[in-house]
Amino acid sequence: MDHLPYIVAAYGLTVLVAGGFALDAWLRMGRARRRLAAIDPRAGR
């Protein structure tokens, strides 16, 4: 498989970009939820 390094690079980059955005969104959402619950427990539900 001559093209293996190119395939690995393309798939690796995709996992990095898409996974990075997904992880960032998930962490940001959790952070906001915890902070909102701490400030106003009624609003955080």
Helix (H) or strand (E) holding 1: none
CA angle 31, 33, 13 (to 5 degrees): 45
**31 φ/ψ sector (left φ>0, alpha ψ -120 to 50, else beta):** alpha
State the minimum distance, in angstroms, from the CB of residue 21 to another protein: 5
State the minimum distance, in angstroms, from the CB of residue 4 to another protein: 7
State the minimum distance, in angstroms, from the CB of residue 41 to another protein: 11
Binding site for another protein (CB under 8 A): 1-4, 6-7, 9-11, 13-14, 17-18, 20-22, 25-26, 28-29, 31-33, 35-36, 39-40, 43
